[in-house]
Amino acid sequence: MKRALPENKGRIYLDYAATTPVDHAVARAMRPYFGTRFGNAGSVHSFGQEAIAALDAARERIATALGADFREVIFTGSATEANNVVLRGVVKRFRELFPERTPELVVSSIEHESVLETCRDLERDGVAVRSVPVTREGVLDMRALKAALGPGTVLVSVMHANNEIGTVQPVREIADLVRTARGVSAFPLFHTDAVQAFQYLPCDPQATGADLITISAHKLYGPKGIGVLYARRELGAKRGTGTLTITSESALQPIITGGGQEFGLRSGTENVPLIVGAAEAIIRAAALRAREARRVGELRDVFWKKIRAAWPGAQLNGSIANRLPNNLNVWFPGRRAEELLIHLDRRGIAVSSGAACSARSLTPSYVIQALGFSRERARESVRFTLGRQTTTMELDKTARVLDEIKKKKH
């Protein structure tokens, strides 16, 4: 017999970096496209026309929010897929243009697994990958990045903010460095994974300087199963006496082929309900950004003081200054993260020990180890991430429970 799952009512959710509940307005926007407006956007009849109209409207809304062109917004099945489209698509295109050269990818040592694992796979296929270290506080070493750039560099991929420790990278500075390195070539391109950052920081092309930007709806109170990729339409650079102009369609080769949807970059019938939901979530996140950043930042800072009062030996992983306002990643010396997670969950409090993608494996965080800390510290660290529903009362209770756990014997 299957064990009944606990009711969520009265429970405290502090794992908003893993996923978020779907906003009621987002659910309302999607609902008609699961029912009466179910048409395929590729059909010419009225049902199809209704679907393509919704698809176009969603794309236009996102483009407007990003200050981008309509054709620069690409829908994928997830942010992981969007990252794969970027990494594999750029490499594939570069090899077509320059078959005699070895493509090189430059990434930070604390990227999401969807970037790092894809890089490992591409390495097995002959692609060179350079990993750039971060400081003890989790910020990219800019001198090391500059040294890593070479004539074969096709792409630099650095996440805007880390999913585990919340540290924010100087993406505009990185973009300027990449653009300088580009010189008379169309490469390297600059990609940033803005999945965690979008809710709290400006992530448009003007603010980041990025050529390619990944966004995920389910981290923004939208549905799971839908990712958004911004791909700058024109990437021009002087070459010799002429000018080489590369569009996003030609800078990226598709990794999923078929009917040529998404301007040829991602084939497959468009998932209209999720696309509509993603647009609504992105618009709402952008509108609430400044207010929510202030609110959760104030809550987070008070919560951190209470954690330290309850557990004086606790230490923060990553920078407190260059950090997302909703994130605390805390080292509790001498107490395994899984033990703390179980105790907290029994008291109705949901937190995590790191990335949701690797949580089941219980392996120590490679991100915390990349800061120069031990595997033991990585095993003893817990991530708390706040969100729209987080209240002072919830955080007060969590601090009290941590105090009780601290006083218990191992």
Any idea which residues carry the catalytic annotation? 357
Tell me the residue length of the chain.
410
Measured distance CA(351)–CA(337) in Å, rounded: 10
- The residue among 15, 92, 109, 52 whose CA lies nearest residue 383 is 15
103 prior amide bond cis, ω within 30:
no
Distance between CA atoms of residues 45 and 29, nearest Å = 23
Strand partners, 327: 385
* Residue 123 contacts residue 155 (beta carbons within 8 Å): no
Three-state secondary-structure class, residue 35: coil
Q: Which long-range contacts (CB under 8 A, 24 or more apart) does 215-218 make?
A: 215/79, 215/82, 215/282, 216/78, 216/79, 217/274, 217/277, 217/278, 217/281, 217/282, 218/19, 218/20
β pairing state of 189-193 and 153-157: parallel
Instruction: Yes or no: say if 200 and 293 are a contact pair by the CB < 8 Å rule.
Output: yes
In the 8-state DSSP scheme, what is residue 370?
Answer: H
What b/e string do you get for 159-175 counting C-beta neighbours within 10 Å, with b at 16 or more? Answer: bbbbbbbbbbbebeebb
∠ at Cα 36 (32, 42), nearest 5°? 95
Q: 128 — phi, psi (to 5°)? A: -85, 135
**Cis upstream peptide for 188 (omega within 30°):** yes
Spatial distance between the Cα atoms of 53 and 195, rounded to a whole number of angstroms: 27
**Percentage helix, strand, coil, to 5, in the chain?**
45, 15, 40
Q: 132 with 156: CB under 8 angstroms?
A: no
Q: How far is CA 362 from the centre of its chain?
A: 21
